[in-house]
Amino acid sequence: EVQLVESGGGLVQSGGSLRLSCAASGFNFDAHWMNWVRQAPGKGLEWVANINRDGSVKHYVDSVKGRFTVSRDNARNSLYLQMNSLRAEDTAIYYCVRDYWSYFDHWGQGTLVTVSS
Amino acid sequence: EIVMTQSPATLSVSPGERATLSCRASQSVGSDLAWYQQKPGQAPSLLIFDVSSRATGIPARFSGSGSGTEFTLTVSSLQSEDFGVYYCQQYNGWPRTFGQGTKVEIK
């Protein structure tokens, strides 16, 4: 069974940093691109970033470029999101999402990031 | 950026009735279109990929159609467990983008 378990969310002040982690199990982690998708309270879904199988290719939504960095450790079956210079508008649930031929076939339960201004 | 627009924002449907949800892309996305369902307090889950292919375990009452810029998700006979918010998403271009969602509620 595919499992994606996020951790690392919490309350942080504006301008601060946070590192999210996602522990993957139940599938060959290094065979899949991986994504981060977020959802602000009461709002819709926003794709944030993704990373290819070996970590050499990364894409970001414009609003986080230069502030967020996605990475992975295939030996640990883990995905990460380093978030710097956080803003109030980054407040959201962050989901770790498996990529399957570019669509999103498995989602974690999410971790809540709250940025206080 | 490809903008995805869903309509209506809210759809009130009685159990057993047909529900039709629409999704429009600001430019062609070919067949690179997925639909997701989100129930309150839960993560989204994949319903449909490549416009019309049902994900594993998705019942046949869910069907997708369309191409290019106009897409439709149809639920032929709505069940109580089908109420929630539905999102379309394109994976043809960067960034990946979602529609704003259609909330399907009990009439």
pLDDT in tens, B66-77: 999 999 999 999
Per-residue pLDDT tens for A51-102? 999 999 999 999 999 999 999 999 999 999 999 999 999 999 999 999 998 9
Any A CB within 8 A of B29 CB = no
Sequence-distant (6+) residues with CB within 8 A of A56 are none
What is the separation of C-alpha A101 from the centre of its chain, rounded to a whole number of angstroms? 18
Which single residue is written with the structure tokens 């994606």? A4
| Collapsed DSSP state (helix, strand, coil) of residue A56 | coil
Per-residue pLDDT tens for A1-11? 999 999 999 99
- DSSP calls for A82-101: EE-S--GGG-EEEEEEEEET
Provide φ and ψ at B80, rounded to 5°: -60, -35
* Token duo for residue A103: 């669509």
Per-residue pLDDT for A117 more than 90?
no
**Contact yes or no for B95 and A102 at CB 8 A:** no
Interface test with A, best of B3, B96, B97, B100 (most A CBs within 10 A): B96
Identify which of B27, B50, B26, B68 has the alpha carbon closest to the alpha carbon of residue A103. Answer: B50
What is the Cα–Cα distance from A28 to A51, expressed in whole angstroms? Answer: 15
**Contact yes or no for B55 and A105 at CB 8 A:** yes
What is the Cα–Cα distance from B3 to B93, expressed in whole angstroms? Answer: 10
DSSP-assigned letter for residue B56: T
Nearest to A47 among B45, B50, B98 (CB): B98
Find the residue in A nearest to B41 (Cα): A109
CA distances from A13 to A48, A86, A91, A108, A113 (A): 20, 8, 11, 25, 11
**Contact yes or no for A45 and B101 at CB 8 A:** yes
What is the Cα–Cα distance from B101 to B99, expressed in whole angstroms? Answer: 5
| Collapsed DSSP state (helix, strand, coil) of residue B77 | coil
Nearest to B94 among A59, A95, A107 (CB): A59
Any A CB within 8 A of B58 CB = no
Nearest to A104 among B46, B50, B100 (CB): B46
